[in-house]
A and B are shown apart, each in its own frame.
Chain A
């Protein structure tokens, strides 16, 4: 598997796109999706919610377990991916594309986000 170069990554295995008009798209990495197994339920933050970097903002449930969803940045949620709510398997089949989770108007981002190469080294994948 390969982690797209244009994204940045958190140690909680989220990815963050480059900002477009101050808004970043957020999802979980392929490594995280594989570790979870088939995702069957996604509870995402709602539009208008404020999310805080490093804090939980939803949950992803798979066959075997439930995992908290963390936001890698602080800001206001501008979109949540309804396609993933309707069909959570998108998180497994296209974690970096159609399986994106939510968008945030970034107020503040932490300094410790990783590059693709750094994340690959961190996750071992």
Chain B
């Protein structure tokens, strides 16, 4: 079966900018506009503008919206303040990760759940099933929003040129409704790059006006349009997991080193509680593989699925790998046997097309911004 790729509201604009497009989770998305390394470096040092309209928005409303989300997800959504956001996950009954999510609390009893594009339908279906018995409503809002992101150290200055919203009062992982470049937007201080930045949820018909205004306001600050290629290297340097790579249904949040998102102390039952209780204990006493960072000594690039080796034996698997523009060397995230997971472990390599290339085991992230 093949279906035509979905196009974002900015598709024509991307093509006029000369973007190289790529299929991503059924969407035709900009991979890069020119050099992905230049785009990466712009976000690290100045600012970049992204179209992330493929992300899946699901709205949850109703008197029991918070109680429902605390049941359906692993986090304690009841403790999320109005105007704040929370990184969380949705798991199966067996604890396997269905997706990682950001939940924004938009009002007293209104939340927006943002899922990965490739999982949006699955998450929507799961929430729709789990809402049964709660006085809450789950609404598919994927077509209601375009999503633009301004990321990088110059992003606050750029945003201040196009909005009167109180950005200084807007903390990391917070969101507020406002007007940006004359269009109504949900302004969130979130991102997936390891830099300060903003994500702007707007009606699709306003996306182009907003893009053009940000491009203009950003030009003096060195802002350039950025594609998904650099988004991937930015999040990899920042040690952020990507669904389908570091996160899969075969893993629990504890396996992924993200057990902190699971809140056992919250009131009431939640989907996956029993399985995750066991997973937490296993991670404590007999951890299986652990997620680590690898930095190449040479220049050949590890890719997802490549074997991690030591003493001629396979001890793990690369989940994401790329040349790191910031470090100037190839880097990877990999699950490795616990015995080889300590930073500085000697003798670890990656099998790159038959050659065992030496790699240094390091703690994640590879890059942390100076605040």
Contact = CB atoms under 8 A, between A and B. Distances in A.
B299 A63 contact: no
Interface stretch (A9-17, A33-41, A116-124): A33-41
A30 to B, nearest CB: 13
Contacts of B301: 40-41, 61, 66
Contacts of B35: 37-38, 92
Given A37-B32, A38-B36, A64 B299 contact: no
B229 interface: yes
B242 to A, nearest CB: 14
B92 interface: no
A66 B301 CA distance: 8
A38 B37 contact: yes
B88 to A, nearest CB: 29
A67 B310 CA distance: 27
A68 B322 CA distance: 17
Interface in B75-91: none
B323 A66 contact: no
A89 B35 CA distance: 10
B142 interface: no
Contacts, number: 40
Contact of A63 (B229, B300, B353): B229
B20 interface: yes
A63 B36 contact: yes
Interface string A1-41: 00000000000000000000000000000000010011011
Given A63-B229, A64-B229, A41 B36 contact: no
A34 B35 CA distance: 9
A37 B229 contact: yes
Contacts of B20: 34, 37
A38 B36 CA distance: 7
B322 A41 contact: no
B303 A41 contact: no
Contacts of B303: 66
B151 interface: no
Interface string B30-56: 011001110000000000000000000
B233 interface: yes
Interface string B4-42: 000000000000000010000000000110011100000
A37 B301 CA distance: 14
Nearest to A65: B303
Nearest to B323: A40
Given A34-B20, A63-B229, A41 B32 contact: no
A41 B299 contact: yes
Contacts of B31: 37, 64
Interface string B298-324: 011101000000000000000000110
A38 B230 CA distance: 11
Contact of B323 (A34, A41, A43, A92): A41
Contacts of B299: 40-41, 61
A55 to B, nearest CB: 16
B228 to A, nearest CB: 10
Contacts of A61: 299-301, 323
Nearest to B233: A63
Contacts of A37: 20, 31-32, 35-36, 229
User: A40, A43, A63: which has the most chain B beta carbons within 10 Å?
Assistant: A63
A42 to B, nearest CB: 9
Contacts of A41: 299-301, 323, 330
Interface string A63-102: 1101000000000000000000000010010000000000
Nearest to A38: B37
Contacts of B300: 41, 43, 61
A112 B232 CA distance: 39
A63 B323 CA distance: 6
Nearest to A63: B36
Nearest 4 pairs of A and B residues by beta carbon: A40-B323, A41-B299, A38-B37, A63-B36
Given A41-B299, A64-B31, 19 more contacts: A37-B20, A37-B36, A37-B229, A38-B37, A38-B323, A40-B323, A40-B330, A41-B323, A41-B330, A61-B300, A63-B36, A63-B37, A63-B233, A63-B322, A63-B323, A64-B36, A64-B229, A66-B301, A66-B353
17 contacts: A37-B36, A38-B36, A38-B37, A40-B299, A40-B330, A41-B299, A41-B301, A41-B323, A43-B300, A61-B300, A61-B301, A63-B229, A63-B233, A64-B36, A66-B301, A66-B353, A92-B35
